[in-house]
Structure 1
Amino acid sequence: METKFVLLILTLLLSISVTVRTDYVRPQPRKTLHFPWNPKPPSQPQQVHISLAGEEHMQISWVTDDKSAPSIVEYGTSPGIYTSSAEGDTTSYSYLFYSSGKIHHTVVGPLEHDTVYFYRCGGQGPEFQLKTPPAQFPVTFAVAGDLGQTGWTKSTLDHIDQCKYDIHLLPGDLSYADYMQHRWDTFGELVQPLASARPWMVTEGNHEKEKIPLFTDAFQSYNARWKMPFEESGSTSNLYYSFEVAGVHVVMLGSYTDYDELSDQYSWLKADLSKVDRKKTPWLVVLFHVPWYNSNNAHQGEGDGMMAAMEPLLYAAGVDLVLAGHVHAYERSKRVNNGKSDPCGAVHITVGDGGNREGLAAKFRQPQPEWSMFREASFGHGELKIVNSTHAFWSWHRNDDDEPVRSDQVWITSLIGSGCLAEKNYESRKILISP
């Protein structure tokens, strides 16, 4: 009897020790990065980043302290040999006692697909290189929102750098400057190694607003520094736009500009979705900052108004995937629509866990909703590899002791591949094309 009792105790202790070893222990927050003063020649390009600018074109953006520096980009397919050049335009802004440098935006192209180009900004300074996205599948997106400038931000960026991706998607909250304009400059320097080499396609979050009544308009800094291809997609605002790449139509929406049925954004979205050719772009992906499907205690209900106005449009168009930020945790849903599982709805994924200084949103609602498939409050990034017209592989990589750990993964079948779009009748789609 005594021997059996000892064995029972040992078994219980072993069970407890196994549980302790296998449970995920969330790492502690990390401090905001410190950027020592590093003076540069006033004409040297700083904060270089690139974005798509219409078919076969790329926009290169940078900042100089020299107000007379030219907005010229020289480029070619061999190091140091620049066979083409382009000249762009400039802007600048003042914010209370802060005055920005000269912000340059230059569009280059036409460029070959899936090709490495070497380029130089302003006729001097270091040489950069970029790789254009492919013309056809497969295509890979890195996804991380709510980045900020902390130790975890750097870890996330280092992990993304290890990923063989073509485009970075960022659903809002970039620098966390929060009125301190010099932090836009340090953020630009922090992301330059990645953002100068692959297109960064971003949309605004609440930390980009920076509005001071009677003094400063909302999104002044964001719009000046991160110019997206809104005009190329027929939008009148840098806060919402769309682009196409390698069989994917991507729509970037604004959670912090009007979105009701009488708004310009709603009218633009309706027109944009009605023009999508699913034979050319069988995948339809949407990004915005505030999630519509969220079982975290943080930011509950903040996306309900936008969801009520715009989800019917997305459902009628057959959107495959919706990516959001804002909540500082990771969550992936089933295909959902109108608050419940729907095989013809979109998969919603929240990735507002890039590394911000506000910390993680650790408390989730219980019980877990039936539409919620996976959720975890950890810093990390996502990777979306769209393999062909019908299948994509999504994975989320947790920052765990500075190693990227694949914590969640799933194969996603497109609505084109599932037959949902063929099953939908005309009544469900005419909302997009009615006058």
Structure 2
Amino acid sequence: MKPSSFVRVFTLTLAVLMTTTLAHDALALSLTRGPYLQIGTPHGVIVRWRSDVASNSRVRVGTSPTNLTLTFDDAASTTEHIVQVSGLDPQTKYYYAIGSTTQTLSGGDSNTYFHTAPTTGTQQPTRIWVIGDAGTGNSNQAAVYNAYRNFTGTNPTHLWLQLGDNAYNDGTDAEFQSKMFNMYPDMLRQSVTWPTLGNHDGHSADSATQTGPYYQIFSLPRNAEAGGVASGTEAYYSFDYGNIHFIVLDSYDSSRSVGGPMLSWLESDLQASGADWNIAYWHHPPYSKGSHDSDSDTAMTQMRQNVLPILENYGVDLVLTGHSHSYERSKFIDGHYGSSSTFSDATHVVQSGSGRTDGTGAYTKTGVGVAHAGAVYAVAGSSGKTSGGTLNHPAMYISLNELGSMVLDVNGLTLDAKFLNNNGTVRDYFTMTKEGGTPPQLANVSGLVWQDTDADGIRETGESFLQGIEVRLYSDADTLVATQITNSSGAYQFSSVAAGNYYAQFFAGARTLSPQDQGGSDSVDSDANPADGKTAVFGASAGSSVANIDAGMYLAGGEPQTAQLQDGLNGYAGTADTYVASGKAGTHYGTSTAVLADGSDGSNGRLVGLMAWDVSSIPSTATVTNATVTLQVSNASAGTYNLYAADTAWTEGGATWNGVDPLNNQGTLIGTFQPSSTGRHTVQLNGAGISLVQGWVSGSAANNGFMIVDDGSSDGVDLRSSEYGTQAQRPKLTVNYQ
């Protein structure tokens, strides 16, 4: 062969190989786990996920879902994606999306976000969710989770502590998938979780070598990446969040001996802590008469005898454990390291009473880090099941054989703790406060951002509000305090900031800030300087609420708008959805809480889903610029599903296979998705889909919605319908227009 011929053949072969590889990556990549968050700090977080085939990794981050301007890449090809996000502002809400450099797998929506931690040492309101022995994968676990989600509402969960036995029975990868990742998809993508190893997790893990599913799944700070002293291992570690120091121990698979590596590190770490609060947690409780007895269990006894003297000598405040499948909360105690028969109220109770502010009063400590000043020990091992026991340990103030979780709220030098059962009832609560320090003198700062249609700097009746605008609060010394994003009402609020002097800065993006301080009323004028977005310095005194720190903005050529159409959201009730079955061709399913699609569903035959939205709230003269459909997958499928325009009219209560005749009334293909994991999936409509929505809005096309049709797969998919009880999981059509 001539050299020139060889070159041509080689070049052609290489091009084919490259094209084949790129095509494989583009077509095959899908999400099978996550995203989930690890090692959160004031300036960053680790974002993790799993894909079905190997690819490089990309995380895009920004302060609004539609403005993900920061990009973090890892060029290594892998299915286990671990991306360090860094260089962020403290105490700020960031939205994000994940995928490869060529494909977005998840995120870029209002449900995918995290909050960076506050600057270490600062006193900021902090909410913490605590679960123990949760990983049963059954309705008990789901009920505890749902009770907490309903309880916390829109309040963010800043920290999430898992007290071990996170995945029964053996902590395998498959068990973690079904009993953690599939159970908590929203919590995992929004809040950093900090686990400790339980004995069931440890069946398939080894702390000495840090191997096994537990250590492969979690990224934990062995090198003090989040504060504290480096432990050199992921088996036990510490981290800081604001004015709280957390110590996480391994009570199952690491040496519990005095002078051993873990306890030697523990003392060094506590010596270095200057935090207002020291909270420790691990799996085996030092005090319990639940499903496990701390008088006879070796690990429980050794943790009590060897660990508690160190913790109490450095002024530990709260100890959290699981293992016993119950809730037990101790009195305010110190110095008891023996069996239950040796416990004495007279000797070991530092302050008697309930610890309740509406009862005998809060537990009060004389200062920060004072040795042997009293602590509370709580067993919260009933987040997945209850197992009884005598529940009569004399150190306990209350013991309950009930499912539930703990909720901690730390605000300055006050800690409030609650036990929330699976029905959403607070069954126990107590408060701990500290003297010897100066409690924070707090204030609130709030305002509005509006669409200033006439650009005159004055908010007038009929002018709408702007969502997703970034607002930063700075001290008068130019120190960033916090960042907020305006809500759907154009409002933002900086809650519980220290009294002092501040200014706000508004970021208009493509918009222009309105003229500053126009008219004679501060309640309706724009306070931001158009040159830099900054307001004048204002004072926030203790206990005050500084309102009307506002900004008007406008955009030449028409203001972009977004309509989110989902039943129950902002009073909307215009969704129609159902499915039809070829095997039951005359049956309708309009009241079902699920929409199904399947290539072959036994006696039901082929299943085709139907969805439509009333778009009359969008002006008929609007120009549609984008449209997406968000679907909640409750039963995943390995198949691919296509969205086709429906070319025939149907109603939710009357649609049948015979009436719709879906295989002969499929219109234009408007989108495709692969529901390979449970949770939320956002389908980007293609150009034909956007044009179809434009026709619905303008009235030039009949609004028959679309069909969801399998691509030959007999592995069906189940989607939540508009009748489903949880509003956030109902189908949503998002339309961007001008």
TM-score of the superposition, structure 1-length normalised? Answer: 0.76
Please give the per-residue CA displacement for 1:271-315, whole angstroms capped at 9, x wherever unaligned. Answer: 1111011xxx21110010000011325243331112212111101
Partner of 1:228: 220
* Offset, 1:227: 1.4
Alpha carbons 1:142, 1:381 under 8 Å: kept: yes
Q: 1:298 aligns with which of 268, 292, 295?
A: 292
Q: 1:125 aligns with which of 68, 81, 105?
A: 105
1 CA distance for matches of 2:46 and 2:188?
Answer: 12
1 CA distance for matches of 2:378 and 2:177?
Answer: 30
SS of the counterpart of 1:265?
helix
* Offset, 1:113: 2.9
* Offset, 1:416: 5.8
Q: Which letter does structure 1 place at the counterpart of 2:426? A: R
1:201 and 2:194 are equivalent in the alignment? yes
Partner of 2:69: 83
1 CA distance for matches of 2:75 and 2:327?
Answer: 39
* Offset, 1:260: 1.2
Partner of 2:478: none
Moved over 4 A (4+): 88-91, 216-219, 415-418
Partner of 2:417: 394
1 CA distance for matches of 2:29 and 2:209?
Answer: 28
**Equivalences for residues 258-273 of structure 1 within 5 A:** 258-273=255-270
Partner of 1:10: none
Q: Which letter does structure 2 place at the counterpart of 1:205? A: G
* Offset, 1:112: 2.3
Q: Which letter does structure 1 place at the counterpart of 2:168? A: Y
Q: Which letter does structure 2 place at the counterpart of 1:393? A: D
Partner of 1:152: 140
Q: 1:181 aligns with which of 150, 173, 176?
A: 173
Q: Which letter does structure 2 place at the counterpart of 1:155? A: A
Alpha carbons 2:287, 2:304 under 8 Å: kept: no
* Change over 3 Å in CA distance of 1:334–1:414 after alignment to 2: farther
Q: 2:390 aligns with which of 352, 355, 364?
A: 364
2 CA distance for matches of 1:90 and 1:145?
Answer: 35
Q: 1:103 aligns with which of 73, 80, 88?
A: 80
Structure 1 unaligned runs (5+)?
A: 1-39, 92-100, 419-435
Look at both structures and tell me which one has the larger radius of gyration over its CA atoms.
Answer: 2
Q: Which letter does structure 2 place at the counterpart of 1:223? A: Y
* Change over 3 Å in CA distance of 1:412–1:139 after alignment to 2: same
1 CA distance for matches of 2:321 and 2:192?
Answer: 19
Q: 1:411 aligns with which of 431, 440, 444?
A: 431
Higher strand share: 2
* Offset, 1:179: 5.7
- Structure ranking higher on relative contact order (CA contacts 8 Å, 6+ apart): 1
Alpha carbons 1:75, 1:119 under 8 Å: kept: yes
SS of the counterpart of 1:125?
strand
Alpha carbons 2:172, 2:213 under 8 Å: kept: no
* Change over 3 Å in CA distance of 1:219–1:176 after alignment to 2: farther
* Change over 3 Å in CA distance of 1:104–1:414 after alignment to 2: farther
SS of the counterpart of 1:209?
helix
Give me the CA root mean square deviation: 2.6
1 CA distance for matches of 2:412 and 2:209?
Answer: 43
Q: 2:44 aligns with which of 57, 81, 89?
A: 57
Q: Which letter does structure 2 place at the counterpart of 1:412? A: M
Structure 2 unaligned runs (5+)?
A: 1-26, 337-342, 351-372, 439-738
Q: 1:48 aligns with which of 31, 35, 47?
A: 35
SS of the counterpart of 2:416?
strand
Q: Which letter does structure 2 place at the counterpart of 1:230? A: R
* Offset, 1:89: 8.8
SS of the counterpart of 1:60?
strand
* Offset, 1:235: 1.4
2 CA distance for matches of 1:210 and 1:230?
Answer: 22
**Taking every aligned residue pair, what percent have the same amino acid on both sides?**
24
Alpha carbons 2:35, 2:188 under 8 Å: kept: yes
Partner of 2:648: none
* Offset, 1:189: 2.7
Q: Which letter does structure 2 place at the counterpart of 1:255? A: S
Please give the per-residue CA displacement for 1:334-384, whole angstroms capped at 9, x wherever unaligned. Answer: 1223324342232000101111xxx41212254x51x21011011111111
Q: 2:407 aligns with which of 383, 390, 398?
A: 383
* Offset, 1:415: 7.4
Partner of 2:317: 320
Deviates more, 1:330-339 or 1:47-56: 47-56
* Change over 3 Å in CA distance of 1:286–1:342 after alignment to 2: same
Alpha carbons 2:129, 2:406 under 8 Å: kept: yes
Please give the per-residue CA displacement for 1:173-228, whole angstroms capped at 9, x wherever unaligned. Answer: 11215165322222323222111101111111111112499xx9775100000111
TM-score of the superposition, structure 2-length normalised? Answer: 0.46
Alpha carbons 1:140, 1:166 under 8 Å: kept: yes
2 CA distance for matches of 1:108 and 1:287?
Answer: 27
